Structure 1
Amino acid sequence: MTTAVLSPAGNRELLGLLGRTPLARITVDLPCPHPGFWAKLEALGVGGMKARAAVSMLLGARERGELRPGAPVVESTSGTLGVGLAFAGQALGHPIVLVGDIELEPSMRRLLRSYGVRLELVDRPAAEGGWQAARLARLRELLARLPGAYWPDQYGNPDNSAGYASLAAELATQLDHLDVLVCSVGTGGHSAGVVGPLRRHWPGLRLIGVDATGSAIFGQPARPRLMRGLGSSIHPRNVAYDAFDEVHWVGPAEAADACRRLAAGN
């Protein structure tokens, strides 16, 4: 078990590490030939892509007085937001309690615990809403037991989307022109937060959503999903449905194959 000792003041100097991630030109066939595209390498940023949203949500809650200095933060996660919240908690001085489920990969469990978070795992999905509904039920139990605890509610918190304004600004600076933006969709935060500012910059920009097979976000029936951090068995309020020009569903086999092709460079 890993224990982190946090100061209520945190270490705000860490916030200076957020963002400024590079772009890479991708030309690998995936699996068909294509003219190439730019990929924003958010995984290279401290705390991962969702650190932008995590910091935004905690700062917003502190400014409104909803989150007191040193108070615990409790959130449901399939892993990626948890990494971002771990970073935000260290920077702002908040212990982080994450509710996951037993399908969370062992490597992600170790990573989250190494960052000092408390990890709670539910052991069975809810009859309606699956793992996400089960995690949210445990989350509400924890909120009732932890004095002063704050729930960011990544699914419906507008500060989630607002946190990606910096990502949009970086893309507008790094690219001379942008015709098509492709975003994976989970909570809907980053696609909603990026497309608005970019369409003000490039009004003709098309937004393409990528969802997981088995996800209910865009009207398909919810089914068990192998991929984590993509798709949802509930309908997050942050999804900007009207902003999408197209939506495509991706299965785990083709996603894993594309990842391996990218890693191998062929």
Structure 2
Amino acid sequence: MTVTASLPDARRELLSLVGRTPLARIAADLPGPHPGFWAKLEGLAAGGMKARAAVSMLLGARERGELLPGAPVVESTSGTLGIGLAFAGQALGHPIVLVGDRELEPSMRQLLRSHGVRLEIADRPAAQGGWQAARLTLLRDLLAELPGAYWPDQYNNPDNTAGYASLAAELAVQLDHLDILVCSVGTGGHSAGLIGPLRRHWPALRLIGVDATGSTIFGQPASARIRPEHRVQSGLPGG
């Protein structure tokens, strides 16, 4: 298999569109009673919340010389980081190649491709390690075939969590007080990147992680995950 990718022109002015998202007070009725909460509307920024991490990882790699100008970026994703990387690639001039799997929703596949990325799909889970292992095997094949390609490795990259320092700073300015931070949890990047800086402002701050039923992250048995067809990149601070 030969993989080619066109070299996009850098458009660094796009970086000004990252962050500075508004807060909204949510008081509408929900299935369970609640006293109201603040939602950080990260979906209103270009590239969504994950653009913060994507830009941070690519800029960090460029500064260290690990990512050369115009070199392709290859990453495994369930969707949302892919949108952020597509944005970062457009801003910094890097073609983006993403590895998903058969469970990636058709709407997300269409959205990723509409952002100009190359999307490769693992069609069957690995005997050991399931879908994640299958995606990583395909990713390593792509790295071997793309000269100079860079893998951010979101699961082990400290620039992933560092990218959310700007989000923590915004919340600290926008809120007078915060008791509980509720984060969706995938890689754990944004929850880890937020809780440290925010606890310097509010030491008693509690963190609650949320994931879908059927995820193994919190020790549940693996099962089919129930997901809405259209994801909303919002929440407090969510993603």
State whether TM-score is above 0.5: yes
Work out the CA distance in 1 between the residues paired with 2:188 and 2:154: 9
Structure 1 position 156, deviation (Å): 1.3
Structure 1 position 4, deviation (Å): 6.0
Q: What SS does the aligned partner of 2:155 have?
A: coil
Task: State the partner residue of 1:236.
Answer: none
Structure 1 position 198, deviation (Å): 0.3
Amino acid at match of 1:6: P
Work out the CA distance in 2 between the residues paired with 1:223 and 1:128: 16
Task: State the partner residue of 1:78.
Answer: 78
Work out the CA distance in 2 between the residues paired with 1:154 and 1:214: 22
Work out the CA distance in 1 between the residues paired with 2:170 and 2:195: 13
Please give the residue correspondences for 1:249-260 in structure 2 after superposition, counting only pairs within 5 Å: none
Task: State the partner residue of 2:134.
Answer: 134
Task: State the partner residue of 2:69.
Answer: 69
Task: State the partner residue of 1:200.
Answer: 200
Q: What SS does the aligned partner of 2:84 have?
A: helix
- Deviates most, 82-91 or 215-224: 215-224
Runs of 4+ in 1 over 6 A off after TM superposition: none
Structure 1 position 39, deviation (Å): 0.6
Task: State the partner residue of 2:52.
Answer: 52
Amino acid at match of 1:46: A
Please give the residue correspondences for 1:103-118 in structure 2 after superposition, counting only pairs within 5 Å: 103-118=103-118
| Selected match of 2:8 from 3, 6, 9 | 6
Q: What SS does the aligned partner of 2:38 have?
A: strand
| Kept after mapping to 2: 8 A contact 1:15/1:91 | yes
Task: State the partner residue of 2:177.
Answer: 177
| Kept after mapping to 1: 8 A contact 2:7/2:93 | no
Q: What SS does the aligned partner of 1:212 have?
A: coil
Deviation readout 1:209-252 (Å, 9 max, x if unpaired): 1122222223333334233xxxxxxxxxxxxxxxxxxxxxxxx7
Deviation readout 1:24-47 (Å, 9 max, x if unpaired): 111123212211000111111110
Deviation readout 1:166-190 (Å, 9 max, x if unpaired): 0000000100100110011000000
| Kept after mapping to 2: 8 A contact 1:72/1:148 | yes
Structure with higher RCO (Cα < 8 A, 6+ apart): 2
Work out the CA distance in 1 between the residues paired with 2:141 and 2:223: 26
Work out the CA distance in 1 between the residues paired with 2:102 and 2:217: 23
Pairwise CA RMSD? 1.9
| Kept after mapping to 1: 8 A contact 2:72/2:95 | yes
Amino acid at match of 1:135: R
| Kept after mapping to 1: 8 A contact 2:160/2:189 | yes
Task: State the partner residue of 1:97.
Answer: 97
Deviation readout 1:139-191 (Å, 9 max, x if unpaired): 01100111100000111111100000000000001001001100110000000
Amino acid at match of 1:22: P
Work out the CA distance in 1 between the residues paired with 2:74 and 2:43: 23
| Kept after mapping to 1: 8 A contact 2:101/2:135 | yes
When the two structures are aligned, how many residues end up with a matched partner? 228
Work out the CA distance in 1 between the residues paired with 2:77 and 2:180: 29
| Kept after mapping to 2: 8 A contact 1:21/1:41 | yes
Structure 1 position 127, deviation (Å): 2.1
Work out the CA distance in 1 between the residues paired with 2:117 and 2:211: 29
Please give the residue correspondences for 1:33-44 in structure 2 after superposition, counting only pairs within 5 Å: 33-44=33-44
Work out the CA distance in 1 between the residues paired with 2:141 and 2:225: 25
Question: Is residue 216 of structure 1 aligned with residue 184 of structure 2?
Answer: no
Q: What SS does the aligned partner of 1:98 have?
A: strand
Q: What SS does the aligned partner of 2:211 have?
A: strand
Amino acid at match of 2:28: V
Structure 1 position 120, deviation (Å): 0.5
Structure 1: give runs of 5+ residues left out of the alignment. 228-251
